[in-house]
């Protein structure tokens, strides 16, 4: 791109080299690098989603321990039997003790026909996965799969299963991947995050207000506090787990186990409860919330503070009526980040004592607990393929939970932002 | 702070040997000046000579800068503003302030005015006060139909008059104005100046300005500030007199050079 008309004006030799093209070239190289980095990120995210979705559904061939057709009563197949007939089947195939135990837990009069049918499938038929394929194979390799089914499993139940389904969300834990669900882990995550936010949000915001608005003199003590908070944000999460174990599980056991309030969960009788987990995660995200809230408070223009002080407002009136309302969107953004961090944490909860198997749903801060990341971790370590499928389904659950919590925070933030 | 001899005191504000520091840096040195009741007193001078610092000392706003401190006294109606028993919140209630950049609250026009009165425990009719303050600030006709709209939606000149109305609503005795028109166009500036002439019937006004014509046009008294000595960056009032004296027969050579535009 030479511009000869410029040169004609100059009579003496120029002090500048003609480097416009070189400068554009280096600019282009950097632009390409930025685009490449973005593409790497997008590809990584797409791969993650694709693998998860690929693993979370596909064709499954079931193998029944007891052939359902053998359970027909007087020629009526299992699917069409009435509640009484199904109860007969249960009675005939289970020991008397097992049958009475079911009746004791939930009396048959209170169960619907479909409940009893599910019981028959779960206790007697006992479907196992004989062979399974991932979503991609199921879609692209259908003819081959059909061939295998025709040759090797002509009489078996074949289903296209989306492992992430309503039953999966609402079923309790089980050692059998076909009927295992994520309900207790889901509730555990919700309870834990609830405690975490309840603890960390008010304390974090109040600490940020104090540090930004009150501890403004530049002395060694304030600098020490600020430096410490900044460093705490970088401490590995497992360290917080050890801290939580020492403080909440051990030292504060009477409180965290609930024994001081007289509400001891008979299955725990120690401090490894939702309360301990929530407080530990609360400590973990506290520096994050403090630092982000400080940033938000600092971003409130000084002219607004001046305006308030200038008409004789006290410091507290200024903070409450002007600084906080204008900082709230930023504070909530920080809280979103903190929640995202807390909900995915696994390591500190392992140390604090998350249970891998719990049969009762958590129903309060003093329950034993497990959370979604713990559940996912536990399932992925199992050798059977099916556990990987439900782990993928649990990952989707975790992602959806995370996105909906964040969406709530974003909605709240937008509501506050539009107040004026 | 007690109101004493208000009717007899001719001077509302009086500084005595005032020095203002930021940390170890002495920003303003040895100021002795008197502000007369119901007059407009202008503070002029080159950039960085401490005009705003001096103005902010009058209602203890400079205390919001953590390292600042003062020596000497500022007497407001017989009472030293910096006496230990005086509450700066009360000082700022009695001595209001309007800033260089219009800074209305991000609230409705109504709330902008009502908020200040509310925090001071105003017991009267709030609607009446809002209307009265807006009328005093010559803004009522422009905003009477949009009181529930955000104060930030107004033009710059309207915003500045809203800020003046907000300051008036808490019924101060003195209004400090820190270059109130420097961010405004000439027409909006003219409106502010006309407004000041109306307001001085009821209030005492101290204004900092860069604009010498503005000081000449609008003020009754003028304090000329200048950096004290070459090399020592500390400002002081080198001359304080009636405005027409400052602009026509200044005693100090530096003042003459400055107001005639020969330097500064």
What is the 3 state secondary structure string of A132-178?
Answer: ECCHHHHHHCHHHHHHHHHHHCCCCEEEEEECCCHHHHHCCCCCCCC
Q: Which of A216, A312, A326 sits opposite B93 (nearest CB)?
A: A312
Residue A139 has what pLDDT? 87
Flag if A307 and B89 touch (Cβ within 8 Å). no
Q: Which residue in chain B has the smallest CA separation from A325?
A: B106
Q: Which of B89, B115, B163 sits opposite A314 (nearest CB)?
A: B89
Flag if A420 and B116 touch (Cβ within 8 Å). no
Residue A417 has what pLDDT? 73
Output A75 or B49, whichever has higher pLDDT.
B49
Which residues does chain B have within 8 Å of residue A218's beta carbon, measured at their own beta carbons? 66
DSSP A361: -
Q: Any chain B CB within 8 A of the CB of A417?
A: no
Flag if A307 and B105 touch (Cβ within 8 Å). yes
Q: List A residues 143-182 in contact with B (Cβ-Cβ < 8 A).
A: none
Q: By percentage, how much of chain A surpasses pLDDT 90?
A: 37
Flag if B103 and A306 touch (Cβ within 8 Å). yes
Q: Kindly state the average pLDDT of the residues A82-108.
A: 81
Q: Which of A216, A305, A321 sits opposite B66 (nearest CB)?
A: A216
State how far the alpha carbon of B175 is from the alpha carbons of A301, A304, A308, B114, B202, in Å. 23, 18, 15, 18, 10
Identify the band that residue A10 occupies on the pLDDT scale cut at 50, 70 and 90.
low
Output B229 or A285, whichever has higher pLDDT.
A285
Name the minimum distance, in Å, from the CA of A189 to any CA of chain B.
Answer: 39
Name the minimum distance, in Å, from the CA of B262 to any CA of chain A.
Answer: 34
Q: Any chain B CB within 8 A of the CB of A303?
A: yes
Q: Using CA atoms, how far apart are residues A127 and A164, in angstroms rounded to an integer?
A: 18
Q: Which residue in chain A has the smallest CA separation from B172?
A: A311
Q: Which of B90, B92, B101 sits opposite A310 (nearest CB)?
A: B92
Token reading at B152? 């930030």
Q: Any chain A CB within 8 A of the CB of B96?
A: yes
CATH architecture of the domain formed by B11-259 = 3-Layer(aba) Sandwich (3.40)
Angle ∠(A321,A315,B50) on CA atoms, nearest 5: 115
Name the strand (E) or helix (H) holding B71. Answer: strand B68-76
Q: Kindly state the average pLDDT of the residues A123-130.
A: 81
pLDDT per position in chain B (264 positions), as tens?
A: 444 444 444 788 999 999 999 888 888 888 999 999 999 999 998 888 889 999 999 999 988 888 889 999 999 988 899 999 999 999 999 999 999 999 999 999 999 999 999 999 999 899 999 999 999 888 999 999 999 999 999 998 999 999 999 999 999 999 999 999 888 888 888 888 999 999 999 999 999 998 888 899 889 999 999 887 666 678 889 899 999 999 999 888 888 888 887 764
Q: Using CA atoms, how far apart are residues A262 and B95, in angstroms rounded to an integer?
A: 59
CB B209, CB B42: distance < 8 Å: yes
Residue B6 has what pLDDT? 47
Which residues have a Cβ under 8 Å from the Cβ of A170 and sit 6 or more positions away? A181, A183
Flag if B61 and A216 touch (Cβ within 8 Å). no
CB A82, CB A114: distance < 8 Å: no
Flag if B64 and A322 touch (Cβ within 8 Å). no
Cα diameter, chain A: 113
Residue A159 has what pLDDT? 83
CB A141, CB A189: distance < 8 Å: no
Q: Among the listed ranges A80-84, A135-139, B122-126, B139-143, which one has the minimum average pLDDT value?
A: A80-84
CB A409, CB A335: distance < 8 Å: yes
Residue B78's Cβ-count burial label (10 Å; 0-12, 13-18, 19+) is middle
CB B144, CB B64: distance < 8 Å: no
Residue A297 has what pLDDT? 95
Cross-strand pairs, B96: B175
Q: Using CA atoms, how far apart are residues A217 and B89, in angstroms rounded to an integer?
A: 20
Q: Kindly state the average pLDDT of the residues A165-193.
A: 87
Q: Using CA atoms, how far apart are residues A62 and A196, in angstroms rounded to an integer?
A: 42
pLDDT tens, A34-66? 999 999 999 999 999 999 999 888 888 888 878
Q: Any chain B CB within 8 A of the CB of A47?
A: no
Give me the residue spans of the domains in chain B.
Answer: 11-259
Q: Any chain B CB within 8 A of the CB of A309?
A: yes
Flag if B105 and A305 touch (Cβ within 8 Å). no
Token reading at A159? 């289903």
Tokens 């409705």 locate to B108
Q: Which residue in chain B has the smallest CA separation from A307?
A: B103
Q: List B residues 112-141 in contact with A (Cβ-Cβ < 8 A).
A: 115-116, 119-120
Residue B164 has what pLDDT? 93
Which residues have a Cβ under 8 Å from the Cβ of A188 and sit 6 or more positions away? A274, A354, A358, A362, A369, A370, A371, A372
Flag if A307 and B99 touch (Cβ within 8 Å). yes
Which residues have a Cβ under 8 Å from the Cβ of A265 and sit 6 or more positions away? A257, A258, A273, A366, A367, A368
CB B134, CB B91: distance < 8 Å: no
Residue A240's Cβ-count burial label (10 Å; 0-12, 13-18, 19+) is buried
Inter-residue long-range contacts of B256-262, CB under 8 Å, 24+ positions, other chains counted: B258/B44, B258/B45, B258/B46, B258/B212, B258/B224, B258/B226, B259/B44, B259/B212, B259/B224, B261/B212
Mutation pick from A211, A212, A312 vs chain B, by most beta carbons of B within 10 Å, is: A312
Output A78 or B13, whichever has higher pLDDT.
B13
CATH topology of domain A183-417: MetI-like fold (1.10.3720)
Flag if A310 and B99 touch (Cβ within 8 Å). yes
Q: Using CA atoms, how far apart are residues A371 and A354, in angstroms rounded to an integer?
A: 8
Please give the mean pLDDT across all residues of chain A. Answer: 86
Q: What is the CA radius of gyration of chain A?
A: 31
Q: Any chain B CB within 8 A of the CB of A383?
A: no
Q: Any chain B CB within 8 A of the CB of A218?
A: yes
pLDDT greater than 90 at residue A287: yes
Name the strand (E) or helix (H) holding B70. Answer: strand B68-76
Number of C-beta neighbours around residue A200 at 10 A: 26
Q: Which of B64, B101, B167 sits opposite A311 (nearest CB)?
A: B167
Q: Using CA atoms, how far apart are residues B34 and B13, in angstroms rounded to an integer?
A: 6
Cross-strand pairs, B240: B223
Closest CA to B26 of B59, B60, B58, B54: B54
Buried b (16+ CB within 10 A) or exposed e, B93-127: bbbbbbbbbbbbbbbbbbbbbbbbbbbbeeeeeee
Name the minimum distance, in Å, from the CA of A287 to any CA of chain B.
Answer: 26
Q: Using CA atoms, how far apart are residues A355 and A352, in angstroms rounded to an integer?
A: 10
Which residues does chain B have within 8 Å of residue A310's beta carbon, measured at their own beta carbons? 59, 61, 92, 96-99, 167
Q: Using CA atoms, how far apart are residues A302 and B101, in angstroms rounded to an integer?
A: 11
Q: Which of B64, B96, B150 sits opposite A420 (nearest CB)?
A: B150
């Amino acid at each position: 791109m030479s511009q000869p008309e410029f040169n004609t004006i100059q009579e003496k030799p120029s002090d500048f080299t003609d480097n416009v093209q070189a400068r554009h070239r280096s600019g282009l190289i950097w632009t390409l690098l930025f685009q490449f980095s973005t593409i790497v990120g997008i590809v990584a995210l797409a791969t993650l989603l694709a693998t998860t979705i690929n693993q979370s559904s596909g064709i499954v061939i079931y193998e029944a321990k007891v052939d359902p057709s053998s359970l027909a009563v007087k020629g009526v197949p299992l699917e069409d039997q009435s509640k009484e007939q199904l109860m007969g089947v249960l009675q005939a195939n289970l020991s008397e003790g097992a049958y009475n135990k079911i009746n004791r837990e939930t009396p048959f009069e209170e169960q619907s026909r479909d409940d009893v049918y599910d019981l028959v499938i779960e206790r007697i038929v006992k479907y196992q996965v004989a062979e399974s394929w991932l979503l991609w194979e199921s879609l692209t390799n259908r003819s081959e799969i059909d061939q295998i089914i025709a040759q090797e499993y002509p009489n078996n139940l074949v289903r296209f299963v989306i492992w992430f389904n309503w039953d999966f969300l609402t079923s309790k834990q089980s050692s059998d991947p076909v009927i295992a669900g994520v309900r207790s882990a889901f509730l555990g995550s919700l309870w834990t995050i609830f405690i975490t936010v309840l603890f960390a949000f008010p304390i974090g915001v109040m600490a940020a207000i104090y540090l930004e608005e009150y501890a403004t003199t530049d002395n060694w003590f304030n600098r020490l506090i600020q430096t410490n908070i900044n460093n705490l944000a970088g401490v590995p999460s497992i360290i917080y787990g050890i801290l939580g174990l020492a403080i909440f599980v051990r030292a504060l056991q009477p409180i965290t186990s609930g024994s001081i309030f007289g509400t001891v969960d008979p299955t725990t009788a120690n401090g490894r409860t939702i309360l301990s987990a929530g407080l530990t995660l609360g400590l973990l995200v506290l520096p994050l919330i403090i630092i982000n809230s400080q940033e938000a408070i600092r971003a409130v223009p000084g002219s607004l503070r001046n305006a308030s002080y200038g008409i004789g407002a006290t410091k507290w009136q200024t903070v409450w009526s002007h600084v906080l309302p204008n900082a709230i969107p930023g504070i909530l953004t920080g809280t979103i980040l903190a929640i995202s961090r807390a909900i995915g944490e696994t390591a500190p909860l392992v140390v604090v004592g998350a249970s891998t198997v719990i049969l009762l749903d958590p129903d309060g801060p003093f329950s034993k607990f497990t959370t979604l990341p713990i559940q996912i971790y536990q399932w992925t370590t199992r050798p059977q393929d099916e556990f990987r499928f439900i782990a993928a389904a649990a990952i989707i659950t975790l992602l959806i939970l995370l996105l909906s919590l964040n969406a709530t925070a974003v909605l709240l933030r937008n509501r506050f932002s539009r107040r004026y | 702070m007690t109101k004493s001899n208000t009717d007899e005191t001719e001077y509302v504000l009086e500084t005595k040997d005032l020095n203002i520091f930021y940390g170890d840096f002495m920003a303003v040195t040895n100021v002795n000046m008197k502000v007369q009741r119901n007059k407009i007193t202008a503070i002029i001078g080159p950039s960085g000579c401490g005009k705003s610092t001096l103005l902010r000392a009058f209602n203890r706003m400079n205390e919001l800068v953590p390292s600042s401190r003062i020596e000497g006294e500022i007497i407001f109606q017989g009472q030293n503003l910096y006496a230990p028993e005086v509450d700066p919140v009360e000082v700022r209630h009695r001595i209001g302030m309007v800033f260089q950049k219009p800074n209305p609250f991000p609230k409705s026009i109504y709330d902008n005015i009502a908020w200040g009165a509310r925090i001071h425990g105003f017991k009267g009719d709030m609607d009446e006060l809002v209307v009265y303050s807006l009328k005093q600030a010559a803004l009522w006709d422009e905003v009477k139909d949009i009181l529930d709209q955000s104060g930030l939606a107004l033009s710059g000149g309207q915003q500045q008059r809203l800020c003046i109305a907000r300051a008036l609503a808490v019924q101060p005795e003195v209004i400090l104005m820190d270059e109130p028109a420097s961010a405004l166009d000439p027409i909006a500036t003219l409106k502010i100046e006309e407004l000041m002439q109306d307001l001085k019937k009821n209030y005492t006004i101290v204004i900092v300005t860069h604009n010498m014509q503005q000081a000449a046009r609008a003020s009754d008294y003028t304090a000329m500030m200048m950096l004290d000595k070459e090399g020592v960056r500390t400002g002081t009032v080198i001359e304080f007199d009636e405005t027409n004296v400052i602009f026509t027969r200044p005693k100090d050579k530096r003042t003459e050079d400055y107001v005639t535009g020969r330097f500064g």
